[in-house]
Structure formats: structure tokens, C-alpha cells
């Protein structure tokens, strides 16, 4: 007993000294990074660099972090936030972070489903591209240069300043940052006609792990391939994209038809699975399953058929009558407008709303958790009935969104880009749970619900592997939520996002960032970092 008692103060002293050393080392790294940045940036650091001692630090951290799940007091915070104004600022951040062992997280918009672009469990620097958002439209050569920190709404707004008959095939949510959206693929209402945003990238500019500023010509075909759908944060900091403009008609047509169970919603959704991927590529017809709570507290599930057609109502009606007469679309259900107005419509702005709302960079929404699936065979009615019932569980808000594929999406090879969900994919399912209450109990309740729903859907979606969309990042897909500890663990989620393209992404990563400097819990790993040799003749490495 005496030995045990006398050793307790000694153990406490050792622990205290270790804590003091750790704090001292952390402070030293902090000061060294600051001095490194100051010595190379050549501008007052107050314009671009913020630490927790700055009065603006908290507001900047929260400014585009659009899931409050990752803004709690216990969420790890960056040691430094850098809001670069020039490419040289980004190069300095990379150089100084590498020198002093700090990780980098890069944020362009903040919709990040798991907060990986602005949260880390190790000391890190947040590179926030909020001021890196110029949009340069060139109608003459049908292209637009877009810096990664611009939002989709800003891009759409700047395009329409030059022309109302050009667009880019990108997303429905105007507050999404371009950098993350395109690097993961980027889908939207005209993807069946023109493919993904990534399919239409002509050039890009990136700062790599060595601090080099590269474009398509200097980065090489492998890296240019990898960042168009493979997730840019694994390979560097993507500063800007050159995207091909695509033509859209002066008039497009939209409609929304809401169907209840009594109106045959399940049978219509079942039929939709056969129709939506094969109908004319100018028609995008998705289905949103929802179960809002009325003022009396009652919940009633509905299926909303939500559509954009690149043409007039008169052209649309015969297509629907031939392909999907069961829906019962009539001329009175259709609204004609310009394509740019349709971007507001799909974000539920009121008709006639000013286009200026596209310049708003953030959304006011609560906590959420999302997941995704891809469907290869139509889900039987019994499966849809079970899904319908689960929407009525006692949670605040839930949505299940069915997005149709086919058209252009089926004409691109799985290996053309890292995004592999092409031919044979009928639709994508996006599951969302949202809530307003704070606290662990509310989070656990809603996250448990979406996990149960995801488990229920397993027999009805893609298998071996059960694939997912990388822009709807989901840490549940891995073995270890803190990140893989081996290549075999990384393959578990890697094949779900990228299928066989994962091996090529690993090959590219190992060449361009062998020390795995750019990393997060689900970044593409470098083989060398786990002591594995890079061998392009390995049976796991396909020919490309």
C-alpha cells in the first residue's frame, strides 16, 4: 500500500510535465507557423490569417460551415484559419504547414456532410477559399473560369449576366461551393443531357503537396483525371476550374405534382423507375419523398414529382403522354421560364424572386445527416411500401430523393473519370434526416433513424459493393471513423465511392503525394505511407 500511495504523486507529476511539454510544443509550432507565414506572405497577416485570439476567428469559422453538427464547443477547431487572396498565399500555407507538421483542411462552401473540410482531430490549418471566388465568363469560346470558393449561385448569376442561353451542368443548391462540388463529380438538373460538372471541365489550377502551382498541362493527365471526381482534397488545393458552357433554350418548362398514398404514389414511384432513366434526355424528372408534420402534429408522406424540361410545355406534354401517362400531367401543371429562373425554382424560392438571391452564400438550416445509394434494378412495390412506412417514424424531418440517371450519364465509361456510377444505374437515392434540437440525444435519435433506413434498403440497391456518392461523404461506410489504419481498411469505403477506379486513384496519389500530406478520414491513401510498394503490375491495379 505504501508503494502505491507514494507513487501516485510521482505519476501525477509525470503526467503534468508531459502535459506542459505538449502545450509548449504546440505553442512552439503555432509561433513557428506564424513566423513562417509572415516571412513569406508579403502582406499584413490581419487580412488573411486568423487565430483563436482574433475577434473575427469565430465568425469566419462559422461563416460557411453549414452543418451545425460540427460547430459545437467540443468540436476540434483549427489552430489557424487562412483566407487566401492569391495563389502565392496558398503556396505559403502548404510550405509552412509541411515544415511544422500541421495538417491542412480546405473549405470552399461548407456543405461537407461530415465536416472533413473544416474539422480534424490533429493540429491543423483551415484554408478557407471564401475570398477566392472570381468568375470569368467567355461566351466567345463557350467557357468559364471559376475559382473554387465561388458558390454555384454566384456562377449561375455571372453566366446570366453574359447570356441566358448558356449554363453549366451543376447542382441544384446555389450555396454549394464549386471546389468540392466539381471535384466529387457534381450533378444537377441537366446531367441527363450534358453529364456531370466534372465531365465538362476543360482545365484546372492546383497547388500540390510540394507547393507547386500547376495547370492541366503541367500536372499531367493522371492528376487531371483524378481531381475530376476523385475528391480534390486528396491531391492538393484546387484553386480554379475552367468549365465548358453548354447551350440551354430560351424557355424551359418545370412542373411539380404531389401524390399521396391514396392517389397511388407508390405505384407511380414504382413505374417511374422504368420511365425516368429512358425518357428523352432533355427531361429531368426526380421524386422527393417527404413526410412533413402538420400544425396538428400529424404526419403524412407524399411523393413529389419534380421536373425540368429543356423546351416548351407544348413539346413536353406529348413526351409525358407517351412515356409516363400514369402521372397525368396537364398543361395547367406546367410553368415556362428561363433556365436561370429554374435554378431558383428548384431551390424553392417563390416565383418572381429576384436573381440576386443567388449571391447569398449560406443557407439557414439545422443539423443534418445524409447517405446515398445507387439503384441497378427497380425496387419492387413491397420495398417502396416499407420505405414509405419508415418515413412516418417519429423524427422531425426526413427526405428521400430519387434522382434519375440514363441519357448522357449512360454514355460515359465507368473509367473515363473517377466517378463510376454510369451505365446500368437507374437512379441515385439521397437520404436526409434533419433536426433543430441541440444535444447528443437529438443527434443520436435522427442518426439512428437514417442508419436503420439505410440498413432496410440494403436488399434493393447496388451490391458487391454497395456504392455511394463521394460528395455525400459518409463515415459510416468505413471500418474506422477516425480514418483507415491500413490499405485494406481504406478499400472498404474506397470501392464504394469509386469501384475499380479506387486503385488508379491510389496510384496517382502515391505518385503526386507519397507522404500523404493532404489527408482526411476518407482521403485517397498513398501506398508508401503504409509501407506498401507501388506496383502497377499488381493484380489490383487495372490497366488504364
165 near 248, Cβ under 8 Å?
yes
Count CB-CB contacts under 10 A for residue 397.
18
Count CB-CB contacts under 10 A for residue 6.
9
What is the rounded end-to-end Cα distance, in angstroms, of the chain? 68
Instruction: For the chain, list residues with pLDDT below 50.
Output: 1-6, 15-22, 534-544
Q: What residues have CB less than 8 Å from 145, skipping those under 6 apart?
A: 134, 135, 136, 138, 240, 241, 242
**Residue written as grid cell 435554378:** 343
pLDDT attached to residue 470? 98
Backbone angles phi, psi at 439, to 5 degrees: 110, 160
Q: Which domains are seen in the chain, by residue range?
A: 2-130 (3.30.43.10), 252-337+364-468 (3.40.462.20), 475-530 (no CATH)
CA distance 37 to 31: 10
**Residue written as grid cell 493540429:** 123
C-alpha cell at 514: 507519397
Q: How far is CA 237 from the centre of its chain?
A: 16
Count CB-CB contacts under 10 A for residue 437.
12
DSSP string of 478-497, one letter each residue: SS-TT--SSHHHHHHHHHHH
* Residue 229 backbone class (left: φ over 0; alpha: ψ -120 to 50; beta: rest): left
Strand partners, 177: 151
Select from 385, 421, 381 the least CA-distant residue to 404.
421
Q: What share of the chain is helix, strand, coil (3-state, %, to 5)?
A: 40, 20, 40
The DSSP code for 476 is G
525 near 509, Cβ under 8 Å?
yes
Amino acid at each position: 500500500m505504501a508503494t502505491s500511495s507514494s507513487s501516485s504523486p510521482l505519476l501525477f507529476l509525470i503526467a503534468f510535465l508531459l502535459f506542459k511539454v505538449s502545450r509548449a510544443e504546440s505553442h512552439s509550432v503555432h509561433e513557428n507557423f506564424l513566423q513562417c507565414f509572415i516571412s513569406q506572405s508579403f502582406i499584413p497577416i490581419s487580412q488573411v490569417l486568423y487565430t483563436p485570439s482574433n475577434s473575427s476567428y469565430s465568425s469566419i469559422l462559422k461563416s460557411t460551415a453549414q452543418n451545425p453538427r460540427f460547430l459545437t464547443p467540443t468540436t476540434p477547431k483549427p489552430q489557424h484559419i487562412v483566407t487566401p487572396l492569391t495563389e502565392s498565399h496558398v503556396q505559403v500555407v502548404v510550405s509552412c504547414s509541411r515544415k511544422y507538421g500541421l495538417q491542412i483542411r480546405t473549405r470552399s462552401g461548407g456543405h461537407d456532410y461530415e465536416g472533413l473540410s473544416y474539422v480534424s482531430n490533429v493540429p491543423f490549418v483551415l484554408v478557407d477559399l471564401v475570398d477566392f471566388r472570381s468568375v470569368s465568363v467567355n461566351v466567345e469560346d463557350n467557357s468559364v473560369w471559376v475559382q473554387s470558393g465561388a458558390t454555384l449561385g454566384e456562377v449561375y448569376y455571372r453566366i446570366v449576366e453574359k447570356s441566358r442561353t448558356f449554363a453549366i451542368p451543376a447542382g441544384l443548391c446555389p450555396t454549394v461551393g464549386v471546389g468540392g462540388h466539381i471535384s466529387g463529380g457534381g450533378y444537377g438538373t441537366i446531367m441527363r443531357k450534358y453529364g456531370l460538372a466534372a465531365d465538362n471541365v476543360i482545365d484546372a489550377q492546383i497547388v500540390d503537396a510540394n507547393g507547386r502551382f500547376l495547370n492541366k498541362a503541367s500536372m499531367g493527365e493522371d492528376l487531371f483525371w483524378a481531381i475530376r471526381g476523385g475528391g480534390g482534397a486528396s491531391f492538393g488545393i484546387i484553386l480554379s476550374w475552367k468549365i465548358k458552357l453548354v447551350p440551354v433554350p430560351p424557355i424551359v418548362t418545370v412542373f411539380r405534382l404531389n401524390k399521396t398514398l391514396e392517389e397511388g404514389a407508390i405505384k407511380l414511384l414504382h413505374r417511374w423507375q422504368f420511365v425516368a432513366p429512358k425518357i428523352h434526355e432533355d427531361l429531368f424528372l426526380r421524386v422527393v419523398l417527404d413526410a412533413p408534420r402538420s400544425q396538428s402534429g400529424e404526419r403524412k408522406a407524399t411523393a413529389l414529382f419534380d421536373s425540368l424540361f429543356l423546351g416548351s410545355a407544348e413539346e413536353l406534354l406529348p413526351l409525358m403522354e407517351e412515356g409516363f401517362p400514369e402521372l397525368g400531367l396537364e398543361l395547367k401543371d406546367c410553368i415556362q421560364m428561363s433556365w436561370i429562373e429554374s435554378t431558383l425554382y428548384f431551390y424553392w424560392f417563390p416565383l418572381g424572386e429576384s436573381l440576386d438571391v443567388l449571391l447569398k452564400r449560406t443557407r439557414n438550416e439545422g443539423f443534418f445527416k445524409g447517405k446515398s445509394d445507387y439503384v441497378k434494378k427497380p425496387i419492387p412495390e413491397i420495398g417502396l411500401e416499407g420505405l414509405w412506412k419508415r418515413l412516418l417514424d417519429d423524427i422531425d424531418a426526413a427526405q428521400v430523393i430519387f434522382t434519375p440517371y440514363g441519357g448522357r450519364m449512360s454514355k460515359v465509361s465507368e473509367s473515363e473519370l473517377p466517378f463510376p456510377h454510369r451505365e446500368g444505374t437507374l437512379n441515385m437515392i439521397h437520404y436526409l434526416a434533419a433536426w433543430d434540437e441541440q444535444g447528443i440525444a437529438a443527434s443520436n435519435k435522427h442518426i439512428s433513424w437514417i442508419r436503420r433506413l439505410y440498413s432496410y434498403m440494403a436488399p434493393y440497391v447496388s451490391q458487391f459493393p454497395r456504392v455511394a456518392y463521394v460528395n455525400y461523404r459518409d463515415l459510416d461506410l468505413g471500418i474506422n471513423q477516425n480514418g483507415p489504419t491500413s490499405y485494406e481498411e481504406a478499400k472498404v469505403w474506397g470501392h464504394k465511392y469509386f469501384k475499380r477506379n479506387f486503385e488508379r486513384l491510389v496510384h496517382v496519389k502515391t505518385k503526386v503525394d507519397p507522404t500523404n500530406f493532404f489527408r482526411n478520414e476518407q482521403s485517397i491513401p498513398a501506398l508508401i505511407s503504409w509501407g506498401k510498394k507501388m506496383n502497377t503490375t499488381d493484380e489490383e491495379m487495372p490497366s488504364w
